[in-house]
Structure 1
Amino acid sequence: MKSKILAIAGGLLAATALASATAKAADVKIGLIGGVSGPIAAMAPAMIDAAQLAVQQVNEQGGILGGDKLVGVVGDSACNPQGGTDAATKAVNIEGVVGIVGPHCSGAVLAAAGSVTIPAGITVITPSGTSPEITGLKDNDTVFRTVPSDDYQGRALARTLKGMGYDKVAVSYINNDYGTGLANAFKSEFETQGGEIAGYAAHEDGKASYRSDLAELAKGGADTLVIFDYGDGTGLTILRQALENGFFEKFVGGDGMKSEAPIKELGAENLSTFVASSPVGEKSKSLDMFNEAFKASGGDPSAIFVTTSYDAAFLMALAIEKAGGDKAGVSAALREVSNGEGEPIMPGEWKKAKELIAAGTAIDYKGAAGDENFDANGDVPGTYALFKVAGDGFETITEMK
């Protein structure tokens, strides 16, 4: 009996030792929550690939913390509030992530943050959630973004269009957090600049026909329709039906419309009067370094939100390293690694950053999309440009200010 007890005890000790070794070697997980399905499904893969590039660089240069492997756990928000909440719940409660990059869409960000991540104390960095509503979240300083608020995009787009001679426009916007915030900012600034909004209406997602909505908007006499929606979803339907029925001659989209889907579906030859705004990386050595690395990995550096997605993931890794893996310290650490002070860290310079952090030396991340210095609300400044269709893609017309 005694020998059996000793054997059992020995087995328990061995199991405990094995469990401890396993725990020590456990992966460090971050959530990568994107609109894998839904209205930005064509954009999401490149964004996730850019975030995974940052994860790959971390692992190739010694791993995170004590040499652990960083793992990006992909979740699908479907670009809606319920999907965002579900994906965040799984990431936090089942996968045990230390932080989250995403969600991609504003409504998903707001819902996931309010229901899941803020109560759990998990830091979120969205690379593409642009609604002004995110700025005002009571988030205990846990919600950040590497893309500017739509309050800036909407106003910059209005100023740019007015300067280009667009004096009278109609506006159709999707009835969600993204569309409403962008449309309101645009309308306010366009009218301030002396422009006329000849029609202004929200539309619901997923209808088969918007012809009556378009006919009503066209009654105001504008030759230009501004569409704040997604080019992979309802925005494409509206653009197609407006073209087919000759309701408008010119078309303008926000960043959600800068998608390859309209080009593939409608043909570049039918989109000669279509332009769209989009955030762009500031010209810098950091942007060049990212572009080279992403292209080498098979990615398209010109794809929308890839710079902001990469920056969000690399920043998350830096913050986790700085916080020693303590999720409660990630938020404060995030501000410390990108605040304009310290030794500059460029995209891909993980080994250098890790050594400096270990030595107690201050670092300052210089991102592909810009310096990424967060203000009190977790927002960043940024650069936008206006694009036109060229072949099977887009080319820049002018920077927006």
Structure 2
Amino acid sequence: MKNLLAATAATAIMAGSAFAGGHAKEVKLGVILGFTGPIESLTPSMADGAELAMKEVTDSGLLLDSATVSSVRADSTCVDAGAANAAAERLITADKVDGIVGADCSGVTGSILTNVALPNGTVMVSPSATSPGLSHGNNEDNGLFFRTSPSDARQGVVITQILLDQGIKEVAVTYTNNDYGKGLSDAFQAAYEAAGGSVTINTAHEDGKADYSAEVASLASAGGDRLVVAGYVDQGGSGIVRAALDSGAFDTFHFPDGMISAKLLENFGTEIDGSSGAHPSPSDELSEAFANHVGGAFDSSSPFTPESYDAAALIMLAMQAANSKDSADYKGKVMDVANAPGEKIGVGELAKALQIIKDGGEVDYVGATGVELIGPGEAAGNYREINFDGGKDNTAGFR
């Protein structure tokens, strides 16, 4: 699949020049994700998901003037705003992308939006930036920013429900010291305490450290029935868990979305049995449909991978609805194609959607995750609840 996608991109780069009115024989979409950094184990599948949608549209020959769609990848690093801004600037000014899938982590996403996308008038659809601080109104982001994952204000409520349903009424919280971690930990604490739970400590940890014993000692001193780790699986989050297990400070945890990946099980296996977790995810029915469409080419169940497919799909359908690849023209169509009224469009049905729009009809894009955008540009969201048992992450249900 990767070779095929690369070949598609190479073919697209040799395609013809742009025409008037935002039409083109080539559409370029930037895919800016943390290919290095604290979630690097998640981003390859995310990019593959976005590029699968691009290939599907290219193969249909129905977008605008039978345009091919190519992907231009760039590294957000997830944590270095300067590097992320520079990468996004290159996408727009050098690579001439027509829209951006990304970024991934909330801090760099907000920085790119403010410093690059807004000044250049470029649409961004993030599959995974979940900070409540990104819930801008249209006047603040000029209608350019959307996301296919729900805000962490919603995740805070979901974590609260999971823990209280399991009888966990007192927890300690540690979070990665950035916009994502702080936003999620604050949202969770507010929801949990409002529902009658008690947070014994809510404290930051820095990524990149070799030893987290001091942080774990503080968490252990405060106590709690479970440790909520709002961190990154490829960075300090796993360091905190290892130190907690080795010291005996905590033996069960709750893992929010930044911690959920195959890497978590690889790192800890049965050591985290009895723990809980959650991440934005489609229903079983939608997950199965996406898996069938992917056909084993990459890990369709990896967090934010279906959301990445949907992010790319929304951009391309909005272009078709506007009859233009210019952000200024199609930004106002994203909400239209994402929501009712219109014919419901599932995963793998992008050609059908493009034809309906071309014929003057309307679509209601459901996609891989049950897309529903609430104003402005926010995903309503659905979460997969996980329990860890036998060294596996088992689906407990959806919320």
The two structures have a TM-score, normalised by structure 1, of: 0.90
The equivalent of 1:185 in structure 2 is 187
* Mapping for residues 111-126 of structure 1, pairs under 5 Å: 111-126=111-126
* Mapping for residues 232-243 of structure 1, pairs under 5 Å: 232-243=234-245
The equivalent of 2:133 in structure 1 is 133
Q: CA RMSD in A?
A: 1.9
Q: Distance in 1 between matches of 2:391 and 2:301?
A: 12
Where in structure 2 are there 5+ consecutive unaligned residues?
1-13
Residue type at the aligned position of 1:58: V
The equivalent of 2:309 in structure 1 is 310
The equivalent of 2:375 in structure 1 is 376
Percent of pairs with identical residues: 36
The equivalent of 1:10 in structure 2 is none
1:99 and 2:99 aligned: yes
Q: Distance in 1 between matches of 2:15 and 2:66?
A: 16
Mean CA deviation greater in 318-327 or 109-118: 318-327
Residue 315 and residue 23 in structure 1: after superposition, are their counterparts in 2 closer, same or farther (change >3 A)? closer
Task: Indicate conservation of the 8 Å contact 1:199/1:218, yes or no.
Answer: no
Residue 103 and residue 388 in structure 1: after superposition, are their counterparts in 2 closer, same or farther (change >3 A)? same
Deviation at 1:277, TM superposition (A): 1.1
Q: What do residues 177-200 of structure 1 show as CA deviations (whole Å, max 9, x unaligned)? A: 100111001111111111111122
Q: What do residues 342-376 of structure 1 show as CA deviations (whole Å, max 9, x unaligned)? A: 12222222222222222211121112111x23222
Q: Distance in 1 between matches of 2:50 and 2:122?
A: 18
Q: Distance in 2 between matches of 1:390 and 1:309?
A: 28
Deviation at 1:23, TM superposition (A): 4.3
Task: Indicate conservation of the 8 Å contact 2:62/2:355, yes or no.
Answer: no
Task: Indicate conservation of the 8 Å contact 2:17/2:26, yes or no.
Answer: no
The equivalent of 2:396 in structure 1 is 397
Q: Distance in 1 between matches of 2:170 and 2:15?
A: 68
- What secondary structure does 1:252 align onto? strand
* Mapping for residues 2-41 of structure 1, pairs under 5 Å: 22-23=17-18, 26-41=25-40
1:281 and 2:282 aligned: yes
Residue 230 and residue 66 in structure 1: after superposition, are their counterparts in 2 closer, same or farther (change >3 A)? same
Task: Indicate conservation of the 8 Å contact 2:168/2:225, yes or no.
Answer: no
Q: Distance in 2 between matches of 1:233 and 1:63?
A: 43
The equivalent of 2:354 in structure 1 is 354
Task: Indicate conservation of the 8 Å contact 1:353/1:363, yes or no.
Answer: yes
Task: Indicate conservation of the 8 Å contact 1:282/1:368, yes or no.
Answer: no
Residue type at the aligned position of 1:234: G
Task: Indicate conservation of the 8 Å contact 1:63/1:70, yes or no.
Answer: no
The two structures have a TM-score, normalised by structure 2, of: 0.90
Q: Distance in 2 between matches of 1:128 and 1:375?
A: 16
Deviation at 1:153, TM superposition (A): 0.4
Task: Indicate conservation of the 8 Å contact 1:36/1:76, yes or no.
Answer: yes
Task: Indicate conservation of the 8 Å contact 1:84/1:108, yes or no.
Answer: yes
Q: Distance in 2 between matches of 1:57 and 1:69?
A: 10
Deviation at 1:276, TM superposition (A): 1.6
- What secondary structure does 1:209 align onto? coil
Q: Distance in 1 between matches of 2:290 and 2:301?
A: 11
Task: Indicate conservation of the 8 Å contact 1:63/1:69, yes or no.
Answer: no
Q: Distance in 2 between matches of 1:21 and 1:52?
A: 20
* Mapping for residues 247-286 of structure 1, pairs under 5 Å: 247-266=249-268, 268-284=269-285
Task: Indicate conservation of the 8 Å contact 1:145/1:379, yes or no.
Answer: yes
Task: Indicate conservation of the 8 Å contact 2:62/2:354, yes or no.
Answer: no
Residue 289 and residue 242 in structure 1: after superposition, are their counterparts in 2 closer, same or farther (change >3 A)? same
The equivalent of 2:223 in structure 1 is 221
Residue type at the aligned position of 2:318: A
Q: Distance in 2 between matches of 1:90 and 1:238?
A: 36
The equivalent of 2:162 in structure 1 is 160
Task: Indicate conservation of the 8 Å contact 1:223/1:249, yes or no.
Answer: no
Mean CA deviation greater in 123-132 or 314-323: 314-323
Q: Distance in 2 between matches of 1:399 and 1:346?
A: 19
Q: Distance in 1 between matches of 2:356 and 2:219?
A: 58
Q: Distance in 2 between matches of 1:321 and 1:289?
A: 24
The equivalent of 2:298 in structure 1 is 299
Q: Distance in 2 between matches of 1:140 and 1:23?
A: 25
The equivalent of 2:321 in structure 1 is 322
Task: Indicate conservation of the 8 Å contact 2:15/2:68, yes or no.
Answer: no
Q: Distance in 1 between matches of 2:116 and 2:149?
A: 22
Residue type at the aligned position of 1:94: A
Residue type at the aligned position of 2:243: Q
Q: Distance in 2 between matches of 1:158 and 1:119?
A: 39
Task: Indicate conservation of the 8 Å contact 2:16/2:26, yes or no.
Answer: no
- What secondary structure does 1:219 align onto? helix
